[in-house]
Chain A
Amino acid sequence: MERRTIVAGSLPMLLTPLTALADWELNMPRGVTDLSAEIYGLHMLTLWICVGIGIIVFGAMAYSISHHRKDKGHKAATFHESTTAEIIWTIIPAIILVSLAIPAAQALIKIEDASNADLTIKVTGYQWKWEYEYPEEGIRFFSSLDSKSREASTLGSGIDPASIDHYLREVDNPVVIPVGRKVRFLFTANDVIHAWWVPDLAIKKDAIPGFVNDMWAKVNQPGVYRGQCAELCGKDHGFMPIKVIALEDADYQQWVAEQKQQAAAASAASDREWSRDELLTQGQKVFTASCAACHQATGLGIPGVFPALKGSKIATGDLNAHIGIVLHGKTGTTMQAFGKQLSDADIAAVITYERNAFGNNMGDIVQPAAVKAARQ
């Protein structure tokens, strides 16, 4: 069957320029953990059993079709029952199934045992980005689609996706794990259900608001492993990739130290006064990363779904209402509470930006201190 499709597939291949010829990926990856290899083994075992049964059944059919035909003068037999045959083709499949179920059950029990982990990472799904939190290290950050991919994937962008490195599979902040250690991932979500899927780690688990799931991986090889959200989560479901970097222990420790430094710098930034230009520059960055997916880079939104910020009552009205909706979101809509996601400085910056961009001309600025005060 595989061969047939590949042959049929060569037709369009001849027609297309050599875009991604190297990537005729046919099969499940073997992955980089012991369990992913075991799952791959189960997959191949089942596949070969199916191929075997297929050869017997389709072979018998093909023989019958070529020999037992009226135009070859074959006369129809009259048999129409055989208890023996029925028993045989009930028992044999049952035996095959049992022999499949046993290794599958064994693998399942191992997969579901996330106890004694060396490290825990909490993964939270948002529309449409991931948040990673390392509770033991005090690290916490968001990971969203890389801006180059976002730009190229805009309807009618005219940018060739093949010209972008890892189109739709690149993020701003990858999640980093150490190799050789049992990492336990906890999954939850902020708004709707998402699913965290990295094929090389053989992990796919739903991230469900209000509930926590877990799954674990012990990666054997340093490397970069990519995946994406697997559960339909709204408009940008196809645009929330996952990038996992597995590092040797020493490199991992260094990464942790860097992250801690950055966090300290960010909190210092929230304690000082910002100039108008600083706020606007930072605000545009935050807006592109966190808001443009819905309100659009133009600030015009999508009529009926996401409101325009250009000339909006709130963005050109009372400042406190503006801070309020960004901090607390609006329940029952896709407008999230960004207070949990962004620092005071970032919120101050993005609000300043919204009030002075897209033709909005309020002239006022918001300082991080004002956001901090509004949080109380």
Chain B
Amino acid sequence: MTVPADLTHEDYGGHHGPRKGLLRWVTTTNHKDIGTLYLWFSLIMLFVGGAMAMIIRAELFQPGLQLVNPDFFNQMTTMHALVMIFGAVMPAFVGLANWMIPLMIGAPDMALPRLNNWSFWILPFAGTLLLSSLFVEGGAPAGGWTMYPPLVLQTGAAFPMLIFSVHLLGISSIMGSINIIATIMNLRAPGMGYMKMPLFVWTWFITAFLLIATMPVLAGAVTMLLTDKYFGTSFFNAAGGGDPVMFQHIFWFFGHPEVYILILPAFGIASQIIPTFARKPLFGYKSMVYATASIAVLSFIVWSHHMFTVGLPVGAELFFMVSTMLIAIPTGVKVFNWVATMWRGSMTFETPMLFAIGFIVLFTIGGFSGLMLAIAPADFQYQDSYFVVAHFHYVLVPGAVFSIMAASYYWLPKWTGHMYDEKLGKLHFWLSAIFVNLVFFPQHFLGLAGMPRRIPDYAVQFADFNMISSIGAMGFGLSQLLFAYIVIKTVRGGAKASDEVWEGAQGLEWTLSSPPPYHSFSVQPVIR
């Protein structure tokens, strides 16, 4: 195993600790500092995207238009999705990876620390570029985060801003992924074989490959949009011999692996937390690894299930229906393994465990509706309805977002050296769990009863469930302020956390002090 020469130098922050002042954060190459930056960025974006969701739900509180006009509403749905996916969830996972992967595999830092600095610092620029499109003539992109042509080509001055911010976000993700792969392949402590890596490391390892494989595809697709709009090409213009549906194929070839990019690290987090609080090793470690890998492979051959209504040939519809149903098998294995890990354990229910259990239950509900959506004939009724909105919010909010919250509570004492306020944490969990169901469960009914997604106003028969959903959304939004409060409070002080923090915790990260030294593992640990 080789350690990059950089890591032995003393000139980037030195061995005596971080630089002082703002410059520390701008110039840092330390994996913990960069992890922290990612996590704060993500928290801010969570509130920006959340504010947009509040505008959406406030408008949908009652039938009729009360607050915004339809064009601004479309800008909100588009931006909400882009901000949440690329600004909140992905950076949060990368932040967790930055903090935890070196600690979990016994590495002193990430393998490519300078690249690491870049991959973070591109993000605020990309985010600002995207958000500032709200203020240009014609407003922000309003054609949906899926950017389907020809509609997206009607975007005004915001169009190039959208494209370039997607490019920047993609570059940042690719650099982050290269770094994660390089770190995992090269910097594992002696004795840490691949099949000994903690599952969070495994799931991120696989996620990073997905990112490298798909981000360039997205970049290619949006570049083709750019040339279609400004340089007279006709990739997606039927009148010029192109095909608008081809964009959808390319987009979802990226987009479907992308949804696993948003959930595989969450699987990893649940697989760390459940054994800790069940005080029992993870059940079926190997099958967990294989299941993750097979989900990743399958994710490349299911993309057209997002497009069952575009008029595919029957053969293609059958293929994509069956391949999509197949994904249920490895996903099921994961859920069964988590339950088997809990089974006959000695469980306690601190906040991380509550969020992890909430994750499993609610993610599984999202998985069920996913299976329903896979059934192509029935999908003709579900597609582009609120049923789909309910489905992907179940997998993304109580799925991905709950796992990020679970991880934050789980590792916050390690990061800060302080225990968070357990009472408040539990309160935060229960508020979130109740409200999230209030927001999204009724949306299943709305979709089945015929309400399409992405509409600012609706027929009066949809009024009641929309009102419930909006009330839930306000409650959920407010509850997250509590999360911010708890985190800030813990960063600023609190009861001293021990090195182990949790009674049942296993793994290298718990052998370091809380908070860990600025340079972790200056002496390489050895795993038996």
Contacts and interface: CB of A to CB of B under 8 A. Distances in A.
Given A68-B346, A192-B151, A227-B450, A43 B372 contact: yes
B473 to A, nearest CB: 12
Given A46-B371, A112-B317, A80 B280 contact: yes
Interface stretch (B39-47, B62-70, B82-90): B62-70
B368 A230 contact: no
Contact of A209 (B150, B335, B458): B150
Contacts of B156: 304-305
Contacts of A42: 375, 377-378
A95 B66 CA distance: 51
B482 interface: no
B452 A209 contact: no
B64 A204 contact: no
Nearest to A331: B239
A268 interface: no
Contacts of B457: 153, 161, 168, 238-239
A64 B328 contact: no
Nearest to A47: B372
A254 interface: no
A42 to B, nearest CB: 5
Nearest to B280: A76
B332 interface: yes
A74 interface: yes
B468 A8 contact: yes
Given A25-B445, A68-B346, A77-B344, A104 B321 contact: yes
Interface in B227-286: 237-239, 243-245, 278-286
A304 B137 contact: yes
A70 B454 contact: no
Interface residues on A, range: 35 or more
Contact of A65 (B342, B346, B437, B438): B342
Interface stretch (A55-63, A130-138, A358-366): A55-63
Interface stretch (B19-27, B107-115, B171-179, B357-365): B357-365
Contact of B150 (A47, A70, A156, A193): A193
A313 B132 CA distance: 31
Contacts of A161: 62-64, 457, 460
A116 interface: no
B399 interface: no
B6 interface: no
Nearest to B338: A61
B329 A12 contact: no
Contacts of A35: 377
A164 to B, nearest CB: 8
A236 interface: yes
Contacts of B70: 235-239
Interface of B: 62-71, 74, 137-139, 142-144, 148, 150-151, 153-154, 156, 237-239, 243-245, 278-287, 309-311, 314, 317-318, 321-322, 325-326, 328-329, 332-333, 335-336, 339-349, 357, 360-361, 364-365, 368-369, 371-372, 375-378, 380-381, 383-385, 434, 437-438, 441-442, 445, 448-450, 452-465, 467-468, 471
Given A26-B449, A65-B349, 18 more contacts: A1-B365, A20-B464, A26-B448, A38-B377, A58-B361, A61-B339, A76-B280, A82-B340, A86-B287, A156-B65, A168-B63, A199-B450, A204-B384, A205-B311, A213-B310, A231-B148, A232-B143, A303-B137
